């Protein structure tokens, strides 16, 4: 909180996955996650608190998925949640009931969405829980990390209250480069021209559908990239605390008009070298 954020754009909950999966009974299940959510809500005050549902599998707690040849393309994110409905139900109820008394603007984020059906299923479950337990449903958002979610963004907009771009995974799936594999480190490039273009496509679709859109991947915390995102029309960036002051300072030192111009230049680039030249130019003058 001391770095001056306006809300919490991405609260990861994976650390509590095993606790929830534990079948020791109600007394133990959820206790630590409840405390964690309460603490986050205290810090968020009246601002937004975006809680991501468990995103396990892939690079996170891969052992849960067992042996997989391509874990990043395997049993992870919302696929895990929907194949274990009891677990999803438990987490949804825990989050919504814990946060209901707080004044924060609670939002739920679904990880690794690749199609409309996944969002419809999670919403259906949230609505059922809220009806049964007399709770108020909260905003439900799509984490855009898979290119198919960008292609379907207009359709997803009809079922989601907001979207947030997870640039770490979007880069990985856009460029077919494993984010955790050192051998393809140079191919995993978050400022690749194609990454900027897919982000721009999503921004335009969300704008046309009046769907709020933020960026919660690492790209948002890189000051030059954050300036370009702002120039493209993004007005909510989520990052780790220590990055906030520098990004704010840089955003305040440029006019939006200049940033829009630089964003147009980025979209014309066909190589990373050209992209880097435009990013570098933001540090001149």
Q: Which is nearer to ligand PEP, 54 or 157 (CB)?
A: 54
Task: Assign 14 to helix, strand or coil.
Answer: helix
Rounded to the nearest whole angstrom, what is the least distance from the CB of residue 25 to ligand PEP in the complex? 30
- Residue 130 or residue 237: which is nearer to ligand PEP going by CB? 237
Taking the C-alpha atoms of residue 246 and residue 66, their distance in angstroms, rounded to an integer, is 41
Nearer to Mg ion, 41 or 143 (CB): 143
Which region, judged by CB under 5 A, interacts with Mg ion, from 5-13, 167-175, 178-186, 224-232?
167-175
Nearest to 13 by CA among 44, 34, 41: 34
- Residues of span 24-83 touching ligand PEP by CB under 6 A: 55
Residue 77 or 231 with smaller CB distance to ligand PEP: 77
For β-strands 105-110 and 139-144, DSSP reports them as: parallel
CA pair distance 121, 127, nearest whole angstrom: 10
Q: Does 217 bind ligand PEP (CB under 6 A)?
A: yes
The Cα–Cα gap between 108 and 114 comes to 17
- Tokens 């370009």 sit at which residue? 228
- Contacting ligand PEP within 90-129 (CB under 6 A): none
Residue in 213, 208, 244 with CA at minimum distance from that of residue 226? 244
Return the one option of Mg ion, ligand PEP, none that residue 158 interacts with (CB less than 5 to 8 A, by type): none
Closest by Cα among 165, 73, 77, 63 to 113:
77
From residue 165 to residue 184, the character string flagging contacts with ligand PEP as x (rule: CB under 6 A) and all else as - is: -xxxx---------------
Helix/strand/coil for 110: strand
Strand, coil or helix: what is 160? Answer: coil
CB of 141 to ligand PEP, least distance (A): 13
Residue of 5, 7, 9, 166 that binds Mg ion (CB under 5 A): 166
Q: Which one, 10 or 113, has the nearer CB to ligand PEP?
A: 10
- Report the alpha-carbon distance of residue 149 to residue 113 in Å, rounded: 7
95 vs 216 by CB, closer to ligand PEP: 216
Binding site for ligand PEP (CB under 6 A): 10, 12, 55, 145, 166-169, 216-217
- List contacts with Mg ion (CB under 5 A): 145, 166, 169
């Amino acid at each position: 909180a001391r770095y001056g954020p306006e809300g919490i754009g991405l609260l990861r909950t994976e650390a509590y996955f095993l606790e929830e999966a534990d079948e020791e009974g109600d007394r133990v299940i959820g206790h630590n996650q409840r405390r964690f959510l309460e603490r986050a809500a205290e810090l968020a005050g009246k601002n937004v608190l975006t809680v991501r549902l468990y995103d396990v599998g892939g690079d996170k707690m891969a052992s849960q998925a067992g042996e997989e040849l391509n874990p990043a393309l395997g049993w992870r994110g919302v696929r895990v949640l929907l194949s274990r409905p009891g677990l999803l139900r438990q987490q949804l109820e825990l989050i919504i009931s814990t946060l209901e008394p707080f004044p924060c603007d609670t939002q739920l984020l679904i990880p690794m969405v690749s199609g409309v059906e996944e969002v419809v299923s999670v919403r259906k479950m949230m609505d059922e829980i809220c009806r049964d337990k007399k709770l108020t449903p909260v905003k439900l958002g799509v984490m855009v990390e898979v290119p198919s979610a960008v292609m379907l963004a207009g359709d997803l907009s009809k079922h989601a209250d907001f979207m947030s771009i997870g640039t770490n995974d979007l880069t990985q799936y856009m460029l077919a480069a494993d984010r955790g594999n050192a051998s393809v480190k140079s191919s995993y490039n978050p400022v690749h021209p194609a990454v900027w273009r897919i982000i721009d496509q999503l921004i335009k679709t969300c704008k046309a559908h009046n769907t709020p859109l933020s960026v919660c991947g690492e790209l948002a915390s890189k000051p030059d990239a954050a300036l370009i995102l702002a120039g493209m029309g993004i007005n909510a960036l989520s990052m780790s605390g220590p990055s906030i002051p520098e990004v704010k300072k840089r955003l305040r030192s440029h006019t939006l008009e200049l940033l829009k111009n630089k964003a147009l230049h980025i979209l014309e680039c066909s190589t990373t070298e050209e992209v880097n030249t435009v990013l570098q130019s933001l540090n001149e003058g």
